[in-house]
Amino acid sequence: MYKVFVNDIPIILSTEKIIGKQYKTIPIKTVKIKKLIKKLYKGEQLYINLYHPKEEKLLKHLRKKLKLVIAGGGLVYNDKKEILFIHRNGRWDLPKGKIEKKEGIEECALREVEEETGVKGLTIKRPLEITYHVFKRNGKFRLKETFWYEMHTSSTEALVPQTKEGIKKAKWLNFEKAQKALDKSYENIKLIFPSTYLVKHPNDRVA
């Protein structure tokens, strides 16, 4: 099963025809994906299950229907166990960005995290989730497939948000503040975090 987010609403891709009474099941091979996405954007449709009996066919068919953009990003810890967040478009997010030609995905993830935050001395510890979401660019819908990595740095240098990319802040947040930031983040970003971070602490503020 996969989740593909459209404005924080997940489209489920599964090998099961029935996943819940509220879900409408559509064969992924025949779905008119752009029409469906428009309904999701307008809030006219909420529970969608795109079905195919073979799991390996689910993403294959979706990639045929939407242009694919591959990206890499990082869940970055420092020596204090704080997590590196960015703030853009009124929401807290994790640094990530599109892969360049002849670039490996790990190289992309490291480069994008450094460019968006100014952080130094990054190392990759392990791969995390791959997330999927739909966005609109130049009037056309795109599917972004983001490869996430757990990273670490011991650097204490000041962070520098990449303002030309619309990033207002780059901040290290402790456990409690990271939980609060996730309340004002994106649903696909929450998939990257350990479950302990998804417990709400409404009285803790994030600057």
- Per-run averaged pLDDT (10 residues), the chain, 207 residues: 94 95 95 94 91 96 96 98 97 98 97 98 98 92 97 97 97 96 94 83 52
Predicted confidence at residue 195, as pLDDT, reads 86
Please, is 197 exposed, middle or buried when counting C-beta atoms within 10 Å of its C-beta (0-12, 13-18, 19+)?
middle
Q: Are 11 and 31 in contact (CB under 8 A)?
A: no
Beta bridge partners of 3: 12
Provide the token pair at 61.
């068919």
Provide the token pair at 4.
């593909």
Structural domains in the chain, sorted by start = 2-65 (no CATH), 68-198 (3.90.79.10)
Sequence-distant (6+) residues with CB within 8 A of 102 are: none
Could you give the dihedral angle defined by the CA atoms of residues 38, 93, 189 and 133, in that order, rounded to the nearest 10 degrees?
30
> 3-state class of 14 per DSSP?
strand
- First-to-final CA distance of the chain: 37
Predicted confidence at residue 9, as pLDDT, reads 94
Predicted confidence at residue 184, as pLDDT, reads 93
Q: Are 122 and 114 in contact (CB under 8 A)?
A: yes
> 3-state class of 48 per DSSP?
strand
